[in-house]
Structure 1
């Protein structure tokens, strides 16, 4: 026995309503898309000012205090000497975890954050960035014409603005620390001269008088980095505020 299946009856009104609903949904998506996908690189997500991108550097603000190298948990920062004997930080991005501990600990804001995160290196060796390379903002080829921001009020949606966001962060720099190293407890000095050997700017000199070593600080050179204070095994040196007559 063969059962014949009858075709559905045509209902022009119901068919027209269905087509109208489909066209309405398409029109809604054209005018106000309901997707939450960012079309990168033609669109770029708006990032907060404290976003941890690659690290920029201003050499003239650096006091060679080594704090960035000491605090780095990934051992990604290496200090490079220049022709004058000063040391400046470079970053190995093969190790860097972009925690920005170095940026937060820098007393003079010589290390600066940025929102640049989409950086390509040709090989592992080129990921080791020197201080001179850090001074120059990398060339960024941008295709984005819109900045996109997530809106979590009610249903999640995207707000798109026809603008380009700056990838460098502007902020007020802290005042340069006005301190210098002085021997507060000279009777504790054992003459090891670790302070003199560790000073990145050769601001400390020593003089042997009989069996006693006396230390002298050149205030014109001293940057107040505090390396000598931290390295002194007998707490001879301290950082003291710069007196007005000394700073002149």
Structure 2
């Protein structure tokens, strides 16, 4: 025997209340949406000043110390020589993991962070950025007119401002005393002249007197990069701060 399912009893008041709640919620979302989704690219999220984005370069500040290339865990930095024999970094973005160890380790702030994170490349080869290209801010076609910021006070909500955020970061350069490589332990020198051959600015010269090799540093040329100090097998050279024009 088949029993028929009884139709639910209609409650007009409850049904009207449910419809009114639905209409009010739709109206509220239409006027002031409660979503936490950002409508990119028409909206752009506000990023911190030290966001690890596309790396920019200021050639005049670079002392060719190679620290960026040595510290890079992904081997993404390649040093390029210019016509004067100075070396400057380029970044392979096919390898770069955006850790910004290079930016943090740069003693003169020649490498700079930016908030640019949506750069497109036409092929893998074009992802290798030379020092000259790093000096230029990438051309960006922006569609955003609203900057969005998350507010975590209580319920998560978005704060929208009709403003366009600057993607390049301006900050004060760190104060760094001038250093030079001075032969403080000359008696340890074995005459290998690795320091002279490795110097990117040709600031170290050697003189041979009988069977003894003497090193001389041109402090006007020396940039304090520390390459000679790191490569010296007997710790002859030391980075020494220049105070009042004297070493």
Give the TM interval when normalised to the shorter protein: over 0.9
What is the aligned partner in structure 1 of residue 73 from structure 2? 73
Residue 202 of structure 2 is aligned to residue 198 of structure 1: no
Match of 1:144 in 2: 144
**Which residue number in structure 2 is paired with residue 132 of structure 1?**
132
Q: Shift of residue 43 of structure 1?
A: 0.6
1:31, distance to aligned residue in structure 2 (A):
2.3
Match of 2:32 in 1: 32
2:50 corresponding residue in structure 1: 50
Counterparts in 2 of 1:84 and 1:8: CA distance versus 1, 3 Å: same
Question: Aligned Cα RMSD in Å?
Answer: 2.1
The residue number in structure 2 matching 1:215 is 215
The corresponding residue for 1:94 is 94
More deviation in 18-27 or 195-204? 18-27
Deviations 1:157-214 (A, max 9, x none): 1111111111111111013441111111111111110000000100111111111111
Gaps of 5+ in 2: none
Structure 1 residue 10 displacement after superposition: 7.4
* Between 6-15 and 210-219, the greater mean CA deviation after superposition: 6-15
**Structure 1 pair 34–243 and aligned structure 2 pair: CA distance change class (3 A):** closer
**Superposed displacement of residue 245, structure 1:** 3.8
- Give the unaligned 5+ runs of structure 1: none
Mapped contact 2:177–2:242 kept (Cα < 8 A):
no
Instruction: Note closer, same or farther for the CA distance 1:166–1:148 as it changes in structure 2 (3 Å cut).
Output: same
Contact kept, 8 Å, 1:148 with 1:160, in 2: the verdict is yes
Number of matched residues? 247
Counterparts in 2 of 1:174-185, with a 5 A limit? 174-185=174-185
Matches of 1:182 and 1:2 in 2, distance apart?
Answer: 103
Question: CA–CA distance in 2 between the matches of 1:100 and 1:68?
Answer: 9
Say if 2:228 is the partner of 1:228: yes
Deviates more, 1:22-31 or 1:34-43: 22-31
Contact 1:177 1:224 in 2 (8 A): no
Residues 114 and 168 in structure 2, CA contact (< 8 A), matched pair in contact too: yes
Distance 1:43 1:104 in 2: 30
Deviations 1:66-118 (A, max 9, x none): 11011111111111000111000100111110000000000000000011111
